[in-house]
Amino acid sequence: MHNQKWLSLNFFAFFFTWGVFLPYWTGWLTNEKELSVSAASVIMGTGMVARSLSTLFFFPLLTRLFSLGRLMQLLAIASFIVMAIYIPANSYTLLFIITFAFSFIYPNLLPAMESGATVLMQTDRIHYGKSRSYGSLGYTIALLIVGAATAVWQEQAILWIMLAGLLLMAITQSLVSPVPLQSKPAPRTKKGPSATAELLKSKGFLTILLVSILLQGAHASYYNYGFIYLQDIGVNSFYIGLILNVAVIFEIVFFVKADTLFDKWSVSSMFLLAGIGSTLRWILIFLFPSVWVFILTQTLHAVSFGVAHFAFIRYIFQKLDPVNIPSAQGMYAALGMSLSVALLTFAGGYLYEIAPGYAFLGMAASSFPAVLLVLLTRKRLAY
């Protein structure tokens, strides 16, 4: 299989499961397992802490033990096994433990896949945006399927769709991986600094990592409470799936065109655009608690998430040595996609119980500082 097609297929399979777990799992816990929003937010927030610790420390270790191709196979199989344990689980303690374990294993697939994509960009000159758009397509299809299934079979269908998606991913990961992903990275000399140490000495990398942390963390309320929010304002479950898909459709369009559309943009300009779009998105949801305004703000997902993510990938592709890429991806996944989201999930859960709109307004307190940081550093660090 051509490397571009292999990457596209695996992005599709992973983000199908991401499209079930990320937006619907809090809703599954509150509706199917009858937990309160704050109790579910504690479980999900703690799971994200596990995700951040795992991708920060466990993922770099795994990349030294296994090739990226082999690692993705093992992680997909282990994720399916742990998810199956949810079937008999009913107690809060057991749900907490399973979610922690699943969050420790499953999210490592994301930095592994993104690291593989970056390696293939450097070795095979593949088009990242083209393959990543298939991930967004998988996310879209998951939202549609879950929306339709929950309208018919209620929230119990979410678990079975997730299991089916993980099984599909395990099958796609069993296909022969591209040659550049079949070998472990060359070991460093004992005297050389670690990849993490090198990255921590780079002011440019630390700055774009902090900007990414602020911008990706600002999606916490949307990821965890968007489904519940739409239920609370009276939207039918089937239509919720369609509404959530608006964001992903715009994300797909963005990733298909990103390689050419932003070819001449600097990384700092992309981050600036993402920060402004993100801040506008959360303020509009707070000011206008309407399904139509929520749908309108969904179009900004291509900016708040897509542009920010593409800017980070562009930076590490252009600036980093290949041996440092897995560590960079691990730090991004741990801090930008996990820990910041976890902390803001805790805050968002309590804000939501005061008033749903406050949970979204609180996210602007994360995205707006990113805009200021870019404006203060873009000329000095030239990124």
27 or 280: which leads in pLDDT? 280
Show the tokens assigned to 46. 């703690």
Question: Which of these, 347, 61, 381, 370, lies nearest to 225 by C-alpha position?
Answer: 347
* CA pair distance 52, 331, nearest whole angstrom: 8
Q: Would you state the pLDDT for residue 195? A: 72
Mean pLDDT of 256-260: 85
- Please, what is the average pLDDT of the chain? 87
Q: Would you state the pLDDT for residue 93? A: 93
The strand ranges marked E within the chain are: none
Q: Would you state the pLDDT for residue 255? A: 86
Show the tokens assigned to 56. 């920060």
pLDDT for 187 beyond 60: no
Alpha-carbon distance values, 9 to 113, 115, 263 (Å): 11, 16, 25
Share of the chain above pLDDT 70, in %: 96
Which stretch, 7-16, 133-142, 277-286, has highest mean pLDDT?
Answer: 277-286
Q: Would you state the pLDDT for residue 278? A: 96
pLDDT for 186 beyond 70: no
* CA pair distance 285, 161, nearest whole angstrom: 29
Question: Which of these, 145, 152, 153, 155, lies nearest to 34 by C-alpha position?
Answer: 155
In eight-state DSSP terms, residue 194 is P
127 or 186: which leads in pLDDT? 127
Mean pLDDT of 243-248: 87
The C-alpha angle 130, 250, 303, rounded to 5 degrees, equals 95
**DSSP symbols for 163-189:** HHHHHHHHHHHTSPPPGGGSSPPPPPP
Reply yes or no on domain 195-381 having CATH 3.40.50.2000: no
In eight-state DSSP terms, residue 304 is I
Find the range with the poorest average confidence among 90-104, 109-123, 186-200: 186-200
pLDDT for 254 beyond 50: yes
pLDDT for 338 beyond 60: yes
Find the range with the poorest average confidence among 36-40, 184-188, 251-255: 184-188
Q: Would you state the pLDDT for residue 189? A: 47
Question: Which of these, 282, 278, 120, lies nearest to 212 by C-alpha position?
Answer: 278
Domain 1-181 has what CATH class?
Answer: mainly alpha
Mean pLDDT of 181-208: 72
pLDDT bucket at 245, cuts 50 / 70 / 90: confident
Question: Which of these, 326, 331, 338, lies nearest to 71 by C-alpha position?
Answer: 326
Ranges of each domain in the chain: 1-181, 195-381
Q: Would you state the pLDDT for residue 193? A: 55
192 or 343: which leads in pLDDT? 343
The residues near 34 (Cβ < 8 Å, ≥ 6 apart) are none
The letter for the amino acid at 285 is: I
Mean pLDDT of 258-287: 93
Show the tokens assigned to 218. 């600002």
Which stretch, 55-59, 196-200, 203-207, has highest mean pLDDT?
Answer: 203-207
pLDDT for 50 beyond 80: yes
Q: Would you state the pLDDT for residue 136? A: 82
Share of the chain above pLDDT 90, in %: 40
Find the range with the poorest average confidence among 136-145, 183-192, 198-207, 352-361: 183-192
Asked whether this chain's domains 1-181 and 195-381 adopt the same fold, the reply is yes
The strand ranges marked E within 296-376 are: none
Question: Which of these, 137, 68, 138, lies nearest to 109 by C-alpha position?
Answer: 68
pLDDT bucket at 309, cuts 50 / 70 / 90: very high
